[in-house]
């Protein structure tokens, strides 16, 4: 069975500092990995995905994520945090080798607070 873990419920970072939101996963095959962001009282918005190829993936709003197969991680990063980045971030995984309908499993979310 596939799973995804976001070990931090909340991450605090000062505006202008680099930020990292952590995600680890478990799948039987090669994973498809996704990051989504949720602003208050809104649905989730797709940020970026890793399917294959370069381990460093760039996405919307200056975010990027690094796929590390040996550590089974897919951490979300941004070089310089903005107050407007404050939101809830979800990591998600899909196992394309699982057969049938390949369900997406979401993490429990990490609240990012950027402090002015």
Partner 1 sequence: DVKVTQSSRYLVKRTGEKVFLECVQDMDHENMFWYRQDPGLGLRLIYFSYDVKMKEKGDIPEGYSVSREKKERFSLILESASTNQTSMYLCASSPAGVGYGYTFGSGTRLTVV
The binding site for partner 1 (CB under 8 A) comprises 32, 34, 36, 41-46, 49, 51, 90, 94, 96, 101-104, 106-109
What minimum distance in Å lies between the beta carbon of 66 and partner 1? 18
Residues in the chain: 116
- Interacting residues of 57 by C-beta distance below 8 A, sequence separation 6+: 48, 49, 50, 64, 65, 66, 67
CA distance 24 to 69: 10
Output 37 or 81, the one with its CB closest to partner 1: 37
Closest to partner 1 by CB, 46 or 61: 46
Left if phi > 0, otherwise alpha if psi is -120 to 50, otherwise beta: which for 53?
A: left
Q: Please report how close the Cβ of residue 112 comes to partner 1 at its closest, in angstroms.
A: 15
Q: What are the phi and psi torsion angles at 83 (to 5°)?
A: -55, -35
- Minimum Å gap between C-beta 58 and partner 1 is 14
Cβ distance to partner 1 smaller for residue 16 or 96: 96
């Amino acid at each position: 069975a596939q799973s995804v873990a976001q070990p931090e419920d909340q991450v605090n970072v000062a505006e202008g500092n680099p930020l990292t939101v952590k995600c680890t996963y478990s799948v039987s095959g090669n994973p498809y990995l996704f990051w989504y962001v949720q602003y208050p009282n809104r649905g989730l918005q797709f940020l970026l995905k890793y399917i294959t190829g370069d381990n460093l993936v760039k996405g919307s709003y200056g975010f990027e994520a690094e796929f590390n197969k040996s550590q089974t991680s897919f951490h979300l990063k941004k070089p310089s945090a903005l107050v407007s980045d404050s939101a809830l971030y979800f990591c998600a995984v899909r196992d394309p080798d699982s057969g049938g309908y390949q369900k997406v499993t979401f993490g429990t979310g990490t609240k990012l607070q950027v402090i002015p």
